[in-house]
């Protein structure tokens, strides 16, 4: 398999496994979509880590596979490409990317689908599609602009340049930089902590934030309002408030 889903302690690790560089060919994209949807459905998965292994996250699309494709072929494929990445972005649970080595092109776009990005101190990220006479096609022009702002995104996309982990942190492209041998452990720890939280409230928070970024503030406020009121019907809300009153803040144990 080109992608695997491994579950432990409430954390599902979506592991890219297509050596040597985890090139994202069609089969990998389709498998990624399938497993992202499975992770979203499974009750034993309460948070997700995206991981490519110790040496590389994903070096991008499979250029050898793409080269013979003409306009008609890509018109037929482009939506499936985006849908695979969107499936990851829409996992209704916290998702953290553990970025090692290269995360270029589609690899960078995959990391952008996570809620949080932890990068190795030797990681390199970028959107080099312009050097092929292309633009990012798996969400890079949209998610990167929303994450770091349009002018910084244009710098990376227009030039196709690669940035090291320290610059990626300054840009806001990644959220934490750690030694390379600690990337997965720290990502798993972040996910495991959230896996102990109130699952429906976390889903509500993620959907409210993501929807608000894609629409006007009034619509975003309506989504937030509906989720906020709806959470009063959940056992986790009862547990959280009872624990706060009886024991103080931060001591609730959610089911």
Catalytic hit among 6, 129, 238, 246: 129
E strand or H helix at 119: strand 116-120
Structure tokens at 19: 């050596």
Beta-carbon count within 10 A of 63 CB? 12
Catalytic hit among 9, 34, 109, 207: 109
Residue bearing tokens 């050596």? 19
Known active-site residue 38: no
Cβ atoms of 4 and 28 within 8 Å: the answer is no
Q: Is the dihedral of CA 35, 127, 216, 232 positive or negative?
A: positive
Beta-carbon count within 10 A of 86 CB? 16
* Cα–Cα distance list, 224 to 98, 124, 241 (Å): 29, 36, 19
Known active-site residue 37: no
Q: Residue by residue, what is the 3-state secondary structure of 70-81?
A: CHHHHHHHHHHH
Query: What residues act catalytically?
Result: 109, 129
């Amino acid at each position: 398999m080109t992608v695997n889903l491994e579950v432990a302690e409430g954390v599902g690790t979506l592991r890219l496994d297509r050596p040597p560089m985890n090139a994202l060919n069609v089969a990998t994209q389709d498998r990624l979509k399938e497993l992202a949807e499975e992770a979203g459905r499974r009750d034993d998965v309460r948070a997700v880590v995206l991981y490519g292994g110790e040496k590389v996250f994903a070096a991008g699309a499979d250029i050898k596979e793409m080269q013979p494709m003409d306009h008609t072929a890509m018109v037929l494929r482009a939506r499936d490409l985006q849908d695979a990445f969107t499936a990851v972005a829409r996992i209704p649970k916290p998702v953290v990317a553990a970025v090692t080595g290269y995360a270029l092109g589609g690899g960078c776009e995959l990391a952008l689908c996570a809620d949080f990005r932890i990068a190795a101190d030797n990681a390199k990220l970028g959107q080099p599609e312009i050097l092929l006479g292309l633009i990012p096609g798996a969400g890079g022009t949209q998610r990167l602009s929303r994450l770091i702002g349009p002018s910084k995104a244009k710098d990376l996309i227009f030039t196709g340049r690669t940035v090291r982990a320290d610059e990626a942190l300054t840009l806001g492209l990644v959220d934490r930089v750690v030694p390379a041998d600690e990337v997965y452990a720290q990502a798993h720890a972040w996910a495991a902590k959230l896996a102990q939280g109130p699952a429906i409230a976390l889903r509500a928070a993620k959907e409210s934030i993501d929807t608000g970024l894609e629409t006007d503030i009034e619509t975003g406020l309506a989504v937030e309002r509906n989720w906020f009121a709806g959470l009063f019907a959940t056992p986790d809300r009862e547990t959280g408030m009872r624990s706060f009153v009886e024991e103080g803040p931060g001591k609730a144990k959610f089911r």
